[in-house]
Amino acid sequence: MRTTLLRAGSLAGVTVAVLAGTAGVAAADDAVTGSAYGASADVSLLPGVLTGGRGITVGTGRLAESGSGGPSSASVADVPLRGVVTAKAIGSSVVGGPGSVAAKASVVEATLPLLAPAAGRVPSIRLVSARCASAGGDVTGSSDLAGVNLGRLGTLPAATSPNQKLGIPGVAEVTVNEQLQRYDGTLEVTALHIKLLGGTATGALGTGDVKLASVACGPSKEPAPEAPPRPGGPGQVVVVPAGAPQTGDGSLAGN
């Protein structure tokens, strides 16, 4: 019978390779993803809503977008959004770590001309921000709004609970601190979500959505429980019968 012996160095190399591969799989399994963007608009406005008289369609995509796959931060200054929304600055950032992620988005000195006909004035907000974090099996999120003046659309309380709505029925709906849980456990937080409801209601503005300061954090794994300590005591004794391969011809076992 032919026997092949592995040198210690070769065996160590195989062991290291296996461990490295296992560590890579574990790191991939523990990865937590996040994303954020400062603002987006996808609306079709009726004639007369904005100064100029004609109806317009605006689709901006996600502005100042960042994510776990890069870039880690983004910002845009002096955002006009074709008169639908204005802002002095918008920005976002995503920071990841082992088994965790945190995302933030903000809008500074925003105005909402598209809501002026419904609000009786151009609504303004000094600061809008949203954030989320995921670590240790917990996903949390929150929003902050400061210096808010929405005119006759309504007044926000000092402490805004998730998914608080105000607006004009059949015309526009404004959701503050919108928090949505996706099917995969991801938490999406949008500080301000404006939805134009279209229809034929008096004062109708058009259709579509505008979102300010939006973030999303994926689910994270709960920490693995610690293994119980091994009981103390004498070392384990292994009895090898005479003639077993470990003793060769049995001479060692007989002595």
- pLDDT score of 88: 96
- In the predicted model, residues of the chain with pLDDT beneath 70 are 1-29, 51-53, 157-159, 224-227, 231-255
Find the length of the chain: 255
- pLDDT score of 193: 97
- pLDDT score of 62: 95
According to the 3-state scheme, what is the secondary structure of the chain? CCCCCCCHHHHHHHHHHHHHHHHHHHHHHHCCCEEEEEEEEEEEECCCCCCCCCCEEEECCCECCEECCCCCEEEEEEECHHHCCEEEEEEEEEEEECCEEEEEEEEEEEECHHHHHHHCCCCEEEEEEEEEEEECCEEEEEEEEEEEECHHHCCCCCCCCCCEEEEECCCEEEEEEEEEECCCCCEEEEEEEEEEECCCCCCCCEEEEEEEEEEEECCCCCCCCCCCCCCCCCCCCCCCCCCCHHHCCCHHHHC
Q: Look at residue 20 and tell me if it is in a domain.
A: no
Q: Look at residue 227 and tell me if it is in a domain.
A: no
Q: Do residues 58 and 42 touch, judged by C-beta distance below 8 A?
A: yes
| Total of domains in the chain | 1
Q: Look at residue 58 and tell me if it is in a domain.
A: yes
Coil, strand or helix at 104: strand
Structural tokens at position 116: 């002026």
Q: Look at residue 57 and tell me if it is in a domain.
A: yes
- C-alpha–C-alpha distance, residues 22 and 14, integer Å: 12
pTM reported for the whole predicted model: 0.76
Q: Look at residue 75 and tell me if it is in a domain.
A: yes
- pLDDT score of 5: 40
Distance of CA 107 to the CA centre of its chain: 17
Q: Look at residue 133 and tell me if it is in a domain.
A: yes
Q: Look at residue 26 and tell me if it is in a domain.
A: no
Q: Do residues 198 and 207 touch, judged by C-beta distance below 8 A?
A: yes
Coil, strand or helix at 253: helix
Q: Look at residue 23 and tell me if it is in a domain.
A: no
User: Domain limits at 168?
Assistant: 31-217
- pLDDT score of 249: 54
